[in-house]
Chain A
Amino acid sequence: MSDKAPRIAVTVADVVAVTPFIKRFRFEPLDPGPLPTFSGGAHVVVEMQDGDLVRRNAYSLMSPPSETSHYTISVRRDESGRGGSRFLHDHVRPGMTLHITHPVNLFPIDHRAKKHLLIAGGIGITPFLAMAEQLAHNHTPFELHYAFRSRDHAAYADDLETRFGTRVHLYHGDRGEAPPLDRLLPQQPLGTHLYVCGPAAMIDWVLGSARAAGWPDHNLHHERFIAPAIGTPYEVRLARAAVTVRVGSHQSMLEAIEAAGVDAPSMCRGGACGQCETTVLSCEGTLLHADHFLTDTEKASNTRVMPCVSRFEGQRLVLDL
């Protein structure tokens, strides 16, 4: 990575399997002194040297924002992914050194709200752990509604109940439970803001239900990270760098560009924040857009692409990099 994005060297202080599929990692600073402060909803990008491949994945910070002695993240193993989560699960041990970016918050608490309604699905619970700590610390009213497949999959359910009591509502999918949006949404006081993080279908359901119930868009917040898809390998020409980059099947365009030593801006690495938006100079084929940032018109124009999550099929793709 370039000097534009300073990295923090951290020691892996602890690795705990909290469910059969989720491990929690605790990072402490390698150098003396505190880690940078952050606010609930923030993420860091974890850099991993996997053989000759550098992997970079974004993970929400879960630790209380008021504690700067360490960060914690949770990683769900994704067997069908590109390998970052598998690397963390299989190869990262206590005592190892990793590099992370400074925290960035693309899913912040809106402090003007009079109350905060947090709705989590599965691993989407992770940003809400830090948010709940921050809200509780500030004595700000909030409710956390956490839906999961079964208790075995419910990372942190017990901790949440212990820590936040009746503000936490749990829904066991295996018992047919789900957040009762039809009752929940209409009863919130004016000035409530809603935050949802989870699978795409859940986000769509929650946001759609809220809009239909008359909630203004300004009061609705979501975090919708998607991992880049795997796909057919292809080549990209970087015009300004005058190099041709090969994108492997388990690699994102952004990762291939970075591996070639070309500096490309990025932040969330999940198609949401817009930082890596790149101009397409020539496209002979089909851009496979997978982001949530570009409008449908922009995607159809073949003049813009988000390399962190989108792919390409065809003869020739030239980017302004």
Chain B
Amino acid sequence: MLQPSIKSRPVYGTLTPRAGSEHLIVADAAGADAILDMAAIAPLGFFDKAHILYVPIEHSNRERGDRLRALDAAMFYEGPSLAAALPRLAQALANARMGTRLYLAGTEGLIGQAMKMALDAGIDHSSIETEHRGSTARRVQCVHCKGITENVTTQPAVCAHCGLTLFVRDHYSRRIAAFQGVCIDAEEPGIVPPTEEAFP
């Protein structure tokens, strides 16, 4: 489990089924395992009120999708990417009432972006069930050009927008759903530490 290093870094838990009138569930391929684990302890009728948004990304393993579908959720959506699923999540949140509970499982990028949408809809982050699974790759915002670079696995990393070499900090913004990246050679341009795999 990811360890919090500074206060702004999110702390994730283990998905726990909650009382609720509706359960909105968002997961990627790795997060699907967390959903299946939760299903093992969920009360009868839980998935009758569930809406699952599944974005496996990798197309290799169909078993997870089949097992999720077998939960017989009231609604099940499988899509090619998180970007394709987010408008559907936005619509579900727009129609949701109090009593709706949100469950997010997968990479930090997925959890962060879905949570950002939920925060905008009025849900407090502390009431969202989250479980990190899979890659620790980071979604990074460059403090200089404000561009977002997805799936950063190295330290330092190159901003996909302005090309600066960034030190990827542990400082995280829920509002932006990204970690902070700062120019690593601002004082001595060109003096850059060797690139290391830091967030596999």
Contacts and interface: CB of A to CB of B under 8 A. Distances in A.
Interface stretch (A42-50, A55-63, A69-77, A186-194): A186-194
A213 B98 contact: yes
A185 B20 CA distance: 11
A191 B121 contact: yes
B122 A191 contact: yes
B154 interface: no
Given A113-B122, A114-B122, A214-B101, A190 B96 contact: yes
Contact of B21 (A113, A214, A217, A218): A214
A213 B122 contact: no
B126 A185 contact: no
A91 interface: no
Nearest to B124: A218
A190 B18 contact: no
A190 B19 contact: no
Contacts of A192: 98, 122
For the side of the interface on B, what is the size category?
Answer: 10 to 19
A186 B122 contact: no
A201 interface: no
A185 B19 contact: no
Contacts of B96: 190
A219 interface: yes
Contact of A214 (B93, B98, B122, B126): B98
Given A214-B19, A214-B20, A186 B97 contact: yes
A190 B98 contact: yes
B122 A189 contact: yes
A191 B123 contact: yes
Contacts of B18: 214
A218 B126 contact: yes
A165 interface: no
Contacts of B97: 186-190
A211 B99 contact: no
B127 A190 contact: no
Given A212-B19, A213-B21, A214-B20, A190 B124 contact: no
A248 B173 CA distance: 55
A190 B21 contact: no
Interface string B21-61: 11000000000000000000000000000000000000000
Contacts of B16: none
Contacts of A176: none
B149 interface: no
Nearest to B125: A218
Contacts, number: 57
Interface string A79-118: 0000000000000000000000000000000001110000
B19 A211 contact: yes
A83 to B, nearest CB: 42
A43 B91 CA distance: 42
Interface in A184-210: 185-192
B190 to A, nearest CB: 45
A217 B19 CA distance: 12
Contacts of A113: 122
A180 interface: no
Contacts of B121: 190-191
B136 interface: no
B100 interface: yes
A71 to B, nearest CB: 32
A145 B122 CA distance: 22
Interface in A213-229: 213-219
Given A185-B98, A190-B121, A216 B126 contact: yes
A185 B96 CA distance: 13
A185 B100 CA distance: 11
Nearest to A191: B122
Nearest to B127: A216
A216 B124 contact: yes
A213 B123 contact: no
A227 to B, nearest CB: 33
A181 B100 CA distance: 16
Interface string B125-136: 011000000000
15 contacts: A112-B124, A185-B98, A185-B99, A186-B97, A186-B98, A188-B98, A189-B122, A190-B93, A190-B97, A190-B98, A191-B122, A191-B123, A213-B99, A216-B127, A219-B98
Interface of A: 112-114, 185-192, 211-219
